[in-house]
Structure 1
Amino acid sequence: MDFHKFLYTISDALATADLMALKFLSLEHIPLRKQEGIRDPEALFLALEEKGMMEESNLSFLKELLFRINRIDLLTGKLCSSRAEMERELQIPGRAKVSPFRYLLFQLAENITTDELKSLKFLLMKELPKCRLDNEITMINVFIEMEKKGLLAEDNLEALKTICEKIDKSLLKKIEEYELDQREEMYIPEGHGGQPGFPERAAPVGRLFSSFSPTQADNTYKMTSRPRGICLILNNHNFERARSEVPKLKTIKDRNGTEADAVALRRVFSKLHFEIEEYRDLTAEQIRDTVHRYRAMDHHDKDCFVCCILSHGDKGIVFGTDGQEASIQELTTSFTGLNCPSLAGKPKVFFIQACQGDTFQKGVPIETDSAELDSSVEVDARFQLECIPDEADFLLGMATMKDFVSYRSTTQGTWYIQSLCNHLEESCPRGEDILSILTAVNLEVSKKNDRLNQGKQMPQPSFTLRKKLIFPIN
């Protein structure tokens, strides 16, 4: 295909927001004055061609741009590249042509919420003209205006840091990580080659491959695959068979309200780019077979595995709808490195909604503003904590502590799963790690109150994670 016709097929697939992002990332190569006349991607490509940044025999910059704005569909479909290939390529010193400073600003712009942007504009009202801060102005536009006014530069991030500290500390953390990377690049380790203090310019390795906080840095699990992995939901509601076949369970109730939990889990983990697989009303044998089937799958191109089990249980087990027992330890151990090699070194996350006993946890009389659920609150049966493998990279999120009940509204779902989903939805866009999120869940659930029994509930996570686990939304 003719080179310019080829570029046209790519430009035809780019949206207005994509063009704005591409222009912003190209500012070191095409100055703002010249960009003002660029109204479509074809014009941008021609300008880059004139600058020698794009030619038929070398499309590396175009690949980098599409990778940076997360248009992996065009990268793979039109340029025969991939996310993994670009991650490897951009670790080579000198290959990245988008400056780390420019990409930092783009990341911040991509991850600021509408309310945070309004707050940022308000804090800049004395510094920038009001016409540059109206509702239609994007974060990228604000950054450009700040650069024009001398409020923002590669070596001048103080004003931006002050604002980010006020509106969202996760944005400030991202800037501080960038500054740390830049300081580290000022030194070359022995044996690196080249002259000390003058490293070849390169994008900071490990912090540029996702849209925000999740990175390939040593202290954070990689979370860049699409989909991230499978979110397996085992949702048991109807226990009629258990009541009829197992004498000791003749009074066990159907788990009314569990569908509200399943809906919340599907919504949240879909937003987090997981592939949702849900199974309902499984017997114990079906639970084991389903888990073993997912254990046997090839997860090499995935970064994580999540399993959510919503059922009745007893110490160390969950009940199938037939009243038979499935060992929690057997289910989690299925995904150790030996049993599931393609998930070795990757996080395996289990969220278990079930009680760990039949004891009601009493509240200590303190002044609180805790909200009360409606009167139709039930307890799930019993469950025990010692179910997490000794091997690394596991997280087990328990609805309640050992020996105690957990609560489920027959209309609104369980205290634990509803709180978990709400906090994931609120905190993941800010780049918070899962343990911080689960701590917030602990606080929220601990404030709730069962009016009938004056009962309380305290969730309990258990983990062998070696790194921070952060779920990006981009």
Structure 2
Amino acid sequence: MEFLDILYEIDSQLGETDVDAMKFLCKDILQAKKKLEQVDSGRELFDLLMNSDLLKEDDDFLLAELLYLIGQHSLLKKLNTNKETVKEHLPHYGKISHYRQILFEISENITTKDQDEIIFLLKLSKKIKRKASFLELLNYMEKVEMISEDNINTLEKVLTKVSPDLLRITTTYKTLQAQCNHNTNAMSTTGPAVPECETEDLQKPQFSIQVSHMEKPCDGSNTESLGVIVQEVHSEGEGKENYNANIESQVGDLSLNDDEPAPDTSSKIYGMNRKHRGYCLLISNSIFAKSSPRKGTEADVAELTYVFEWLGFEVVTFLDRTANDMKRHLSDVSKRDHSDRDCFVCCIMTHGESGTVMGTDNEILSISEIITYFVAKNCQTLSEKPKIFFIQACQGKPPQSANPIEKDAAATDKKYVPSIPDDADLLIGMSTVDGHCSFRHVREGTWYIQALCANLVDLVPRGEDVLSILTKVNHDVSQKAAPLYYGKQMPHPNFTLRKKIVFPNPGRPYKPNRQMVTMI
């Protein structure tokens, strides 16, 4: 594929906020400041970078660096690289300054409420337009010299009052700056403290880079760039980071069919650029006519609501419905107009048996029937769009338990063979494999749903696709064991997807409103 075609494809997957972020990160390396301000698309930015000799067919690392820093990791494949490789070479080849990176990282973690408070504290209400982004606020602060590469004291003062947890980012930056200044002074008087790295000593990247553009650490050593440090701020541990690095290599094992996926499938992504993200339908049954109550399901409903609203979905919730009620709600939602929506999500939490879920009247509904409501022939406005189903229910008979860990199952003599409709663009996330039970804590919710929510919050901002996230969910759930019966659970995704599903980064921290969730 021609280089310009690759740039065109990358631009088609970038949103307005992505372009604004890259423009901000490029402020220090582009001389044409006025032209940069007028950039409205990725293509225009790429043209500007190429005209400035910063982006070439045989030197595309700057673009890889930008995509890495803004969290568009899935697009790195178009440059024949990945986030691990970019991270490894940032200390040697990175062009974006530490200063620019920390400002961007802070902007990614500032809420609208935080921003309003900062504008108030800085007395900028009349200077900043009402719906300005935090990056626009930072641009203004630089313009009037409130902040600069050598002075971020004003920003630190307001963060101390508004969001003190973000001071860890500025502290790391100031520590590196002090180290740079110290080493620069030492080299100017006594020569380098350590030998300069020779070009041939550096590991050759897997993609083309002009070595003449290499930016070495300020002290001549292999000091890790702040970009790498900032990217790791949200990581809970090295083991977790190492596991995430291997997620994508495991996705192929989840295929619904035995056939290997087409080689180019991973390079395609479903569009997520319509007016609305989509509906998220939640159905949760707790009280049953002939079965034990599903204590703890309210925790799942709450967490799913918080997470999918954070991801931009319109959440519609129904509690304690009979099988016929469930059919009616599914039919009603399928008949809605989804034209201006990117996708559809359905989460059903109830008792179940092989291939089925159960209404509160203990009548069953097959999973294949649930899905059929939303296939292309029955819901044309969802045609060629991803349709995602998460089913939290046992798929086999479990032993009884007086333990806080319970099983999502009810007694039934009927046996169903699970089947998936022969239709494209489906993803069905089952909480367990057929013939086995799934576990639910009576206060904390189900293992599967809680792991799903936690990993969506953790991995969506990193640019991971949904199948990769479900692989991580499999890993997390498989590590759990029910205390009394030492039972194990393994979730089971099935899919007929043609592309990857990558939810856009919400652009704000996950801060759920722990008030009452509205139910229907």
Point out where structure 2 has 5 or more consecutive residues left out of the alignment: 1-17, 74-82, 107-148, 150-172, 181-198, 203-207, 217-223, 233-240, 247-264, 507-520
Matches within 5 A, 1:57-72: 61=38, 63-64=40-41
Change (3 A) 1:22 1:351: same
Contact 1:232–1:306 (8 Å) recurs in 2:
yes
Point out where structure 1 has 5 or more consecutive residues left out of the alignment: 1-16, 36-46, 55-60, 69-89, 174-215, 243-248, 362-373
Identical aligned residues as a percent:
36
Cα displacement (A) at 1:138: 4.6
Report the number of matched residues.
333
Cα displacement (A) at 1:385: 6.7
Q: Corresponding residue for 2:339?
A: 300
> Which is further off, 21-30 or 440-449?
21-30
The SS at the match of 1:455 is coil
Q: Corresponding residue for 2:443?
A: 411
Cα displacement (A) at 1:351: 0.3
Q: Corresponding residue for 1:381?
A: 409
Cα displacement (A) at 1:26: 6.3
The residue type paired with residue 334 of structure 1 is Y
Equivalent-residue separation in structure 2 for 1:217 and 1:112 (angstroms): 14
Cα displacement (A) at 1:132: 6.0
Equivalent-residue separation in structure 1 for 2:214 and 2:493 (angstroms): 38
Change (3 A) 1:165 1:290: same
Q: Corresponding residue for 1:350?
A: 389
**2:321 aligned with 1:311:** no
The residue type paired with residue 277 of structure 1 is V
**2:279 aligned with 1:230:** yes
Cα displacement (A) at 1:261: 0.8
Alpha-carbon deviations, 1:67-86, whole Å to 9, x = none? x6xxxxxxxxxxxxxxxxxx
Equivalent-residue separation in structure 1 for 2:438 and 2:269 (angstroms): 32
Equivalent-residue separation in structure 1 for 2:504 and 2:101 (angstroms): 26
Contact 2:39–2:45 (8 Å) recurs in 1:
no
Contact 1:360–1:456 (8 Å) recurs in 2:
no
Q: Corresponding residue for 1:444?
A: 476
Q: Corresponding residue for 2:69?
A: 109
Equivalent-residue separation in structure 1 for 2:328 and 2:447 (angstroms): 29
Q: Corresponding residue for 1:13?
A: none
Change (3 A) 1:385 1:171: same
Q: Corresponding residue for 1:219?
A: 268
Cα displacement (A) at 1:416: 0.8
Contact 1:337–1:344 (8 Å) recurs in 2:
yes
Out of 380, 400, 406, the residue aligned to residue 341 of structure 1 is 380
Q: Corresponding residue for 1:183?
A: none
**2:467 aligned with 1:435:** yes
Out of 499, 503, 519, the residue aligned to residue 471 of structure 1 is 503
Contact 2:21–2:70 (8 Å) recurs in 1:
no
Change (3 A) 1:390 1:165: farther
Q: Corresponding residue for 1:211?
A: none
TM-score in terms of structure 2 length: 0.53
Q: Corresponding residue for 1:325?
A: 364
The residue type paired with residue 427 of structure 2 is L
Cα displacement (A) at 1:450: 1.4
Contact 1:165–1:171 (8 Å) recurs in 2:
no
Equivalent-residue separation in structure 2 for 1:135 and 1:96 (angstroms): 22
TM-score in terms of structure 1 length: 0.58
The residue type paired with residue 111 of structure 1 is G
Cα displacement (A) at 1:298: 1.6
Equivalent-residue separation in structure 2 for 1:431 and 1:222 (angstroms): 14
Contact 1:264–1:418 (8 Å) recurs in 2:
yes
Equivalent-residue separation in structure 2 for 1:431 and 1:20 (angstroms): 15
CA-based RMSD: 4.8
Equivalent-residue separation in structure 1 for 2:480 and 2:460 (angstroms): 23
Equivalent-residue separation in structure 2 for 1:443 and 1:282 (angstroms): 32
The residue type paired with residue 470 of structure 1 is V
Alpha-carbon deviations, 1:137-182, whole Å to 9, x = none? 556979xx99xxx99x98468779x978996799999xxxxxxxxx
Out of 416, 428, 434, the residue aligned to residue 396 of structure 1 is 428
Equivalent-residue separation in structure 2 for 1:340 and 1:316 (angstroms): 22
Equivalent-residue separation in structure 1 for 2:504 and 2:47 (angstroms): 23
Compare relative contact order (CA 8 Å, sep 6+) and give the higher one, 1 or 2: 2
Alpha-carbon deviations, 1:291-347, whole Å to 9, x = none? 111111121222211100011123332222222222321110111111111111111
Alpha-carbon deviations, 1:76-129, whole Å to 9, x = none? xxxxxxxxxxxxxx6xx999657677765544333399xx9xxx8xx969x99x
Equivalent-residue separation in structure 2 for 1:20 and 1:347 (angstroms): 27
Cα displacement (A) at 1:415: 0.8
Equivalent-residue separation in structure 2 for 1:172 and 1:403 (angstroms): 32
Out of 304, 309, 326, the residue aligned to residue 270 of structure 1 is 309
Cα displacement (A) at 1:30: 4.7
Equivalent-residue separation in structure 2 for 1:155 and 1:392 (angstroms): 43
> Which is further off, 224-233 or 459-468?
224-233
> Which is further off, 297-306 or 95-104?
95-104
